[in-house]
Structure 1
Amino acid sequence: MEIKRSSYINTIFPYFDTPVIKVLTGMRRVGKSTLILQLIRLLQDKGTDSDAILYINKELLEWDFITSYMELYKFVKGFFLDKHYAKRYVFIDEIQEISGWEKAIASLFSESFADITITGSNAHLLASDLATLLSGRYIEFKVYPLTFKEFCAFHQRSDNTVKEQFSLFLRYGGLPGIHAFELSDSAVFTYLHGIYSTIVLKDVIQRNDIKDPALLDHVIKYVFDNCGNITSVKRISDYLKAQKLTASVDKVLNYIHYLEKAFLVYETQRYDIKGLRFLELYSKYYAGDIGLRHGLLGYKDRDINGLLENIVYLELLQRGYSVHIGKFDTMEVDFIAEKQNEKHYFQVCYLLPNEEVINREFRPLERIQDSYPKYILSLDEFQAIERNGIKTINLIDFLLAV
């Protein structure tokens, strides 16, 4: 059964028949193609003739003949040549596979020829060329892996408790495709490792002409293995050199930048709350999907705190927040989440088993002297603490709250 990701559909669909290009970006296999098909069906349900819709999916061999912007432009114009519709709709999936695609899109848009929606698996999609040609005339929709709430909708098992569902989510992550399989290590991790290999090969190695894929593999493993830990590019470089690998700081920095462009990794900057400035030396990195991490490294219970941070980080991004990690003197605040006039502070931990841990988690938030909401998220089920305006919330309840 196909599940609609209503939050995306309800956000994107109102922009149809408006003078903006819809751009869906996100890692491969997060469900962009399915969203496109659901949007097309919604158009058809509202009376749009199927012949007024053109859908090009560059992941399918049947579209291999379109390789350049001129081939794209000519095909789109030819497709509608004898179809006299007042409204035409063009959808192009994985458009980065077409050389110079932005020239064709810019021309079609300038001619008001069709309502245009495109998807891409590279964060560089909206870099200089399109931004210059179409400044102010496109809107980006970032598509992420399933949230836990969406995961529960996809994996409807009446005999599973919410805790059991969360254990599966923690282990297998949020890529929609895993729900075509039995949720077991042998099935899911094999599938996820295949996706990981595809992303690394197509969106990182080939796209950036990387000559040392073995070194890239070590960089990815280090970053994945240290999700939620404060680190630096120099520290990664030093670690690799200790493994007898040639890894300059500049090369590691480039590799991480390529991983970010493929949405495989996210970097989160540190913000000095007291000094009101961003800090350049140290950051945290999070996996674009924790399931991909486990498909590469295996699942390890000892990593629970970093995994919970990773889940909350992606959840906050999905909710539209800009997210940074905070520093107050020598103490760390896991997340500062901001959106328009909103700001929230979060600490994330596995459990609050004793007074020492409680004090450790509360203390950084208590030092922040502003009135914005402050929360501690943990998997404690029956312990609700409120101290100096700071509240503890069960992490699963938080994930299911919207």
Structure 2
Amino acid sequence: MISKTLWGNIIKDFQKRRYRNIIQRDVHYPLDIPLDRAVVLSGPRRSGKTYLMYMGIKELLARKEDKNSILYVNFEDSRLVGAVSQDLNTLLEVFFEIYPGRNEKTWLFLDEIQVIPDWERFVRTLVDMENVNVFVTGSSSKLMSKEIATSMRGRSLTYNVYPFSFAEVLKAGKLEYEEYLSLAQMGEIIQKLEDYVRYGGFPETVLYREEWDRILSEIIDVTIFRDIVERYDVKNIKMLKLFLNAIFNSKEFSIHKFYNFLKSQGYKVSKNTLYTYFGYFEDSFIVFPLKSFSYSYKKIESSISKIYLVDNGLLSLQGIRDYGRLIENIVFIELKRRSKGDLFYYKSTYGREIDFIIKEGKKVSELIQVCYMLDDFVTKEREIKALLQGSEELQCDNLLIITWDYEAVEIVSGKNVRYVSLCKWLLDY
């Protein structure tokens, strides 16, 4: 049990906190919630969920809200080890005792609250209270952050938090992309883009570039050992790591084929175990499978998945230097971040592949190819033919090719094909 005195100390510690040097993220969530729901900030470890809470608190203070009406608690604080559900009620009791004259509205930021058993009941009680706004994050070994919304039984609004976008990387470096830039300014931005393509956008790797590999290795280790091995009591750690390594080094991945490979090498593991492991990786936001589009649900589910990772630094950590793959991975994560609709890849009747298609409702709204360089006729013709065939089959004329630096609009077979540089597309310029 946590004493009232200790809760008082923690509450007072928060009151003394200063919120300087917080990089403004492009993730926006409501601070005044009109519904009886908690806001859930969901995403991989170290993607900046805690700092998004700080950003919200800073915004409340900027609009002159009473700080005595705001509470932030990090439940991974070492002083709270062993806390139980009853302690949450004590926290609230002490907070209201210390600040009885606070404003009517209250904002509660509960960071990693899922380390406390039966936390869901407490949070659901809070959202039922009048004028109480509740914000929750989580990615600990007790509960994957993706599952918090499920635990809340529909009483939450979820906002996904990914590593920095390229626009946020420029903000962190105090750089701004404008229509007219000097050669020196443009050179600096392109250097940032090259770093982003190679090292990714986890906030710590952006701010401490020289330690990028050490930071990312630690994130993977913590995710594997705390979020997966400890939580699910995985015994075959060697197989788990072998499986993850195989996924990291694959552009397409078939669990069935990998199972047959393991069997041929004398490994003893069931196919169901591999499917279970893959689900763990997906739930922890490391791996994103992308299915091939079809108007048949069965065909979608049975299609071989293309594999994307949450951050390009994880690809570089594996020694992958293929710029085509690196850029395609960045485009995928940016599309996930923008979440305009359902995302698929597509193979035409003649087997020509389109990297990404966006489906909004029942309609395919955009076809996207990603190509590092279009410096030869064969490559350009391949990309265009795939788009044109996809356009015909999917009834979509919004055709885009993202390249490193080529920009144009060309009319091909009566259709407009837009070419946009990666830099401008990432900045939505």
- TM-score of the pair, normalised by structure 1: 0.88
2:9 counterpart residue number: none
Residues 1:19 and 1:110: Cα distance change in structure 2 (over 3 Å) = closer
How far 1:208 moved relative to its partner?
Answer: 1.8
Residues 1:212 and 1:400: Cα distance change in structure 2 (over 3 Å) = same
How far 1:191 moved relative to its partner?
Answer: 1.6
Q: Which moved more, 1:163-172 or 1:82-91?
A: 82-91
Residues 1:123 and 1:239: Cα distance change in structure 2 (over 3 Å) = farther
SS at match of 1:263: coil
2:222 to 195, 198, 207: 198
The answer to whether the aligner puts 1:337 opposite 2:382 as a matched pair is no
Q: Counterparts of 1:153 and 1:242 in 2: how far apart (Å)?
A: 50
1:51-83 CA deviation, whole Å, 9 max, x = no partner? 2222111233133243x3332233223322353
Q: Which moved more, 1:68-77 or 1:251-260?
A: 68-77
Q: Counterparts of 1:124 and 1:42 in 2: how far apart (Å)?
A: 26
How far 1:126 moved relative to its partner?
Answer: 3.6
One-letter code of the match for 2:277? Y
Output aligned runs, 1:154-233, within 5 Å: 154-156=172-174, 160-181=187-208, 183-184=209-210, 187-226=211-250, 229-233=251-255
SS at match of 1:89: strand
The answer to whether the aligner puts 1:399 opposite 2:426 as a matched pair is yes
One-letter code of the match for 1:49? D
Residues 1:74 and 1:242: Cα distance change in structure 2 (over 3 Å) = farther
**1:266–1:287 Cα contact (<8 Å) kept:** yes
The answer to whether the aligner puts 1:283 opposite 2:300 as a matched pair is no
Q: Counterparts of 1:108 and 1:231 in 2: how far apart (Å)?
A: 43
Output aligned runs, 1:8-157, within 5 Å: 8=27, 11-13=28-30, 15-16=32-33, 18-66=35-83, 68-84=84-100, 85=102, 86-112=104-130, 114-121=132-139, 122-126=144-148, 128-131=150-153, 135=154, 137-156=155-174
1:371 counterpart residue number: 396
SS at match of 1:105: helix
How far 1:154 moved relative to its partner?
Answer: 1.4
**Unpaired runs of at least 5, structure 1:** none
**2:315–2:326 Cα contact (<8 Å) kept:** no
SS at match of 2:291: strand
One-letter code of the match for 1:202? R
1:306 counterpart residue number: 325
Q: Counterparts of 1:377 and 1:263 in 2: how far apart (Å)?
A: 25
The answer to whether the aligner puts 1:381 opposite 2:401 as a matched pair is no
Between the two proteins, what is the percent identity of the paired residues?
25
Residues 1:249 and 1:64: Cα distance change in structure 2 (over 3 Å) = same
1:30-54 CA deviation, whole Å, 9 max, x = no partner? 1000010110111122222222222
Aligned residues: 386
How far 1:127 moved relative to its partner?
Answer: 5.3
Q: Counterparts of 2:407 and 2:152 in 1: how far apart (Å)?
A: 51
How far 1:20 moved relative to its partner?
Answer: 2.6
Q: Counterparts of 1:262 and 1:107 in 2: how far apart (Å)?
A: 27
SS at match of 2:72: strand
- TM-score of the pair, normalised by structure 2: 0.83
Residues 1:362 and 1:12: Cα distance change in structure 2 (over 3 Å) = same
One-letter code of the match for 1:23? V
Residues 1:127 and 1:52: Cα distance change in structure 2 (over 3 Å) = closer
Q: Counterparts of 1:162 and 1:49 in 2: how far apart (Å)?
A: 40
Larger Rg: 2
**Unpaired runs of at least 5, structure 2:** 1-20, 176-183
How far 1:325 moved relative to its partner?
Answer: 1.3
Q: Which moved more, 1:304-313 or 1:32-41?
A: 304-313
1:348-369 CA deviation, whole Å, 9 max, x = no partner? 1221121211121111211122
Q: Which moved more, 1:214-223 or 1:342-351?
A: 342-351
One-letter code of the match for 1:310? N
Q: Counterparts of 1:234 and 1:293 in 2: how far apart (Å)?
A: 23
Q: Counterparts of 1:231 and 1:373 in 2: how far apart (Å)?
A: 29
